[in-house]
């Protein structure tokens, strides 16, 4: 065949290829995102680097066993290589990796019977063999290592059990027996008496211990409780945060304590009145960086500030007040977050992850003048990071993809080092959000987004769901959100925005004390009005609304103030500030934060801002969904609103998940997460698609 003839054949081959593919079976089209898509996504966390080697944890829902699997991995030639199973946290020790894991059945049985036990396993990095490294008769939580024979740790201790021990003259087996006999009896004598995800915490304290060559010494008061702690680079100083000894109501403020690790002498640093200290990092052996929340002192909602404290001279220097760029990534997602975010530093300032409007960048704040420099680009949402060479390693969500590990260079460019979730996402029809801007009543230009129905036809109208985030100091961004993508693949448009009170625009914007149910409600309605004006595929006659936690409160509030929505789903909600303030694990402080009062000072205001007051005005068919171990928004909140709608003959349904808590949609049992999403979708289908 001549060269000319070959060229002609190739030309026509490529020319007719698109027409041929158009006539092929649609099996080449991408799949629709389904109810259990989240279970296919791997969550990357606990990113660490050692001698140029990269390690991390992979977590994935396991539908078959209805739980989650965890594993320790190393990045080798761009591929994740599993090193060990059942690892959720790990430490570098003695040229190996140490992690907690109970592997003996007899040990598991002891723990079931109430025994305290922690077993550390050690992974040899040369042959990848795992062997038991250290066994202690204690429930170890945080650890600050000096070496295997000497370290500090925290352990949560039940004071009720300690009382039983005294009654039983120190006989632990007898005390365990008595505890087991009374397991069906719940005893509360403190506030808060329970905590979401932890259960009963009345009389529970987190103590600090010194482990030295087999001896364990309690370092804190039996009625005090420790939270953050960090050890200096030279291992000579331990700094921790403690609540002083208390009975009854837990103190709001905490205290900063410095401990000499050799002599065990302690010194308190009372830097501010009614402060809350946290997020401690050592700059050097004598100096720390920490966050200090002064909202109690200032009596308003505000971000914590960043400070330097010289432990030798006592000099305290404010680096940045946090007024605009607070600490942490608050952009919501339901496909898994990462581990602990740290403050790091260079010679000129500190670095940390913040929430900026609707994404989470890494920023640098100068010691000299507080100048803020963005170290990553807008499309990159940082979940976790560590300094690496001339830049950073980061776990991040970029666009509508699952999380991957990226290399961030000096210019903020993000280069993916892994492809753990990308092949999965490439198979499915992931919808890109459409940005919608609007100006609220205070003249603030706000962002909102609409996910179009997957494969929507121009000129056709589709039902739409307004999705309201929790918080209210949370935020929605442009990162992947499974439930929203599922609805978009199920024929819905999905609308979401960050009304006044949200994170990402500074302390002034997020402080809506006394205005809950006011400006935030009007922001949401203005956003919906703007969407109906600007987005032609949204059917204004087929609108649904839902939200969880604060979003559940707003859903309840909305259906009592407008009938524009044809269906609603109120998830882990608040219906009455009066009952919420007295049942939630954070109710007494949360109610004051957002209403500025309590039942005894101004019950009229609390009732006026309670959706339950307006339940007799509701006409919207509403689904209520709750968990029986949700101690953040107690089940009574959903039941009260459901009871009212039933009384007024409004179509309503109540779904209660057993053994789940406030975090069902993010960390609940996989089968319950599927059931939850199915119930919500079927409810909207019934009223918006008929």
pLDDT per position as a tens digit, 165-191:
888 888 888 888 887 887 788 889 999
End-to-end CA distance of the chain: 63
**Where would I find the beta strands (DSSP E) of 356-439?**
362-366, 372-374, 380-388, 391-398, 404-408, 414-416, 434-439
Strand partners, 447: 437
- Which segments of 244-390 are extended strands (E)? 255-260, 266-268, 276-282, 287-293, 305-310, 316-320, 344-345, 349-353, 362-366, 372-374, 380-388
- The reply to whether 242 belongs to the active site is no
- The model's confidence at residue 677, banded by pLDDT at 50, 70 and 90, is very high
Residue 160 has pLDDT above 90, yes or no: no
Choose between 5 and 410: higher pLDDT.
410
Share of the chain above pLDDT 70, in %: 96
C-alpha dihedral over 565, 570, 573, 576, to 10 degrees? 50
Residue 179, pLDDT score: 79
More confident residue, 178 or 404: 404
> Is residue 214 very low, low, confident or very high in pLDDT (cuts 50, 70, 90)?
very high
Is the model's pLDDT at 246 over the cut of 70?
Answer: yes
Does position 28 have pLDDT exceeding 80, yes or no? Answer: no
Rounded mean pLDDT, 150-160: 92
pLDDT reported for residue 627: 98
Average pLDDT over residues 494-509: 98
pLDDT digits (tens, 9 = 90+) for 281-294: 999 999 999 999 99
Q: What is the pLDDT of residues 86-111, one digit of tens each?
A: 999 999 998 899 999 999 999 999 88
Give the residue ranges of DSSP H helices in 274-314: 295-298
Which tens digits make up the pLDDT trace of 557-569? 999 999 999 999 9
pLDDT of the residue at 18: 36
Mean pLDDT computed over every residue of the chain:
93
Reported as a pLDDT band with limits 50, 70 and 90, residue 112 is confident
| Count of Cβ atoms closer than 10 Å to residue 616 Cβ | 12
Lowest mean pLDDT among 30-39, 82-91, 110-119, 206-215: 110-119
Q: Once rounded to an integer, what is the mean pLDDT over residues 511-517?
A: 96
Domains of the chain are 54-137 (no CATH), 325-428 (no CATH), 430-688 (3.40.50.1820)
In sign, the C-alpha dihedral spanning 309, 310, 313, 318 is negative
Nearest Cα neighbor of 476 from 496, 450, 505 is: 496
pLDDT-above-90 percentage for the chain: 87
Q: Which residue has the higher pLDDT, 379 or 349?
A: 349
Q: Which is the catalytic residue, given 45, 507, 510, 549?
A: 549
pLDDT class for 19, splitting at 50, 70, 90?
very low
pLDDT for position 167:
82
Instruction: Answer yes or no: is pLDDT of 4 > 50.
Output: no
Whole-angstrom CA distances from 566 to 351, 434, 485, 622, 686 are: 46, 23, 21, 9, 10
pLDDT at 25 over 50: no
pLDDT at 161: 79
- The whole-number average pLDDT for the span 416-439 is 97
Task: Kindly report whether the global pTM for this prediction surpasses the value 0.75.
Answer: yes
Is 626 designated active site?
no
Neighbours of 197 (CB within 10 A): 13
Q: What is the DSSP string of 639-657?
A: HHHHHHHHHTT--EEEEEE
Checking if the pLDDT of 339 tops 80, the result is no
Confidence at residue 181, expressed as pLDDT on a 0 to 100 scale = 80
Mean pLDDT of 489-505: 98
pLDDT in tens, 383-392: 999 999 999 9
Q: How far is CA 678 from the centre of its chain?
A: 23
pLDDT at 114 over 90: no
Strand partners, 397: 381
What value does the mean pLDDT take over residues 64-79? Answer: 95
Q: What is the pLDDT of residue 180?
A: 80
């Amino acid at each position: 065949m001549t060269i000319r003839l070959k060229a002609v054949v190739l030309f026509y081959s490529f020319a007719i290829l698109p027409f041929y593919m158009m006539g092929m079976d649609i099996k080449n089209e991408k799949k629709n995102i389904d109810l259990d898509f989240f279970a296919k996504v791997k969550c990357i966390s606990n990113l660490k680097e050692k001698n140029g080697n990269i390690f991390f944890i992979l977590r994935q829902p396991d539908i078959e066993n209805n739980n989650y699997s965890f594993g320790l991995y190393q990045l080798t030639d761009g591929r994740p290589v599993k090193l060990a199973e059942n690892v959720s946290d790990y430490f570098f020790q003695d040229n190996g990796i140490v992690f907690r894991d109970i592997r003996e059945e007899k040990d598991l049985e002891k723990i079931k019977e109430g025994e305290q036990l922690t077993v550390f396993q050690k992974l040899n990095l040369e042959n990848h063999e795992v062997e038991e490294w250290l066994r202690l008769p204690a429930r170890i939580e945080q650890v600050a290592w000096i070496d295997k024979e000497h370290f500090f740790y925290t352990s949560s201790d039940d004071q009720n059990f300690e009382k039983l021990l005294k009654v039983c003259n120190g006989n632990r087996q007898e005390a365990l027996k008595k505890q087991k006999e009374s397991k069906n009896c719940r005893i509360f004598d403190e506030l808060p008496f329970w905590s979401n995800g932890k259960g009963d915490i009345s009389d529970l304290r987190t103590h600090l211990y010194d482990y030295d060559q087999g001896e364990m010494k309690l370092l804190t008061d039996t009625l005090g409780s420790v939270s953050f702690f960090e050890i200096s680079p030279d291992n000579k100083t331990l700094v921790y945060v403690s609540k002083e000894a208390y009975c009854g109501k837990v103190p709001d403020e905490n205290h900063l304590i410095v401990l000499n690790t050799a002599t065990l002498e302690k010194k308190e640093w009372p830097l501010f009145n009614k402060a809350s200290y946290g997020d401690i990092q050592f700059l050097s052996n004598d100096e720390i960086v920490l966050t200090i929340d002064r909202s109690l002192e200032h009596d308003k909602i505000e971000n914590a500030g960043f400070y330097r404290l010289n432990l030798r001279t006592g000099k305290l220097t404010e680096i940045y007040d946090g007024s605009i760029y607070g600490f942490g990534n608050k952009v919501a997602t339901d496909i898994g977050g990462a581990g602990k975010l740290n403050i790091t530093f260079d010679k000129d300032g500190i670095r940390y992850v913040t929430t900026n409007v609707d994404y989470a960048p890494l920023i640098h704040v100068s010691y000299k003048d507080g100048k803020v420099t963005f170290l990553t680009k807008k499309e990159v949402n940082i979940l976790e990071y560590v300094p690496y060479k001339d830049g950073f390693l980061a776990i991040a969500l970029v666009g509508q993809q699952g999380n991957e590990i990226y290399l961030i260079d000096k210019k903020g460019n993000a280069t993916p080092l892994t492809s753990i979730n990308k092949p999965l996402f490439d198979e499915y029809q992931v919808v890109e959000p459409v940005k919608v801007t609007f100006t609220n009543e205070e003249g603030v230009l706000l962002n909102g987004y609409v996910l179009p129905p997957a494969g929507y036809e121009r000129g056709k109208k589709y039902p739409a769901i307004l999705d309201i985030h929790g918080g209210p100091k949370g935020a929605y961004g442009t990162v992947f959100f499974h439930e929203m993508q599922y609805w978009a693949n199920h024929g819905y448009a999905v609308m979401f925005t960050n009304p006044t009170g949200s994170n990402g625009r500074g302390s002034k914007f997020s402080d809506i004390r006394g205005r809950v149910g006011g400006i935030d409600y009007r922001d949401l309605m203005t956003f919906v009005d703007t969407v109906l004006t600007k987005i032609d595929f949204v059917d204004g006659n087929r609108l649904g609304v839902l939200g969880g936690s604060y979003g559940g409160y707003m859903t309840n509030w909305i259906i009592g103030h407008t009938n524009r929505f044809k269906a609603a789903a109120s998830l882990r909600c608040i219906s009455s500030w009066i009952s919420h303030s007295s049942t939630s694990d954070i109710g007494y402080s949360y109610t004051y934060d957002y209403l500025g009062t309590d039942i005894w000072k101004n019950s009229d205001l609390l009732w006026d801002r309670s959706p339950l007051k307006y339940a007799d005005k509701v006409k919207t068919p509403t689904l209520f969904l709750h968990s029986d171990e949700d101690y953040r928004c107690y089940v009574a909140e959903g039941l009260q609103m459901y009871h009212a709608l039933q009384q007024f003959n409004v179509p309503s349904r109540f779904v209660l998940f057993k053994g789940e808590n406030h975090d069902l949609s993010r960390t609940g049992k996989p089968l319950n997460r599927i059931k939850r999403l199915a119930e919500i979708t079927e409810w909207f289908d019934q009223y918006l698609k008929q």
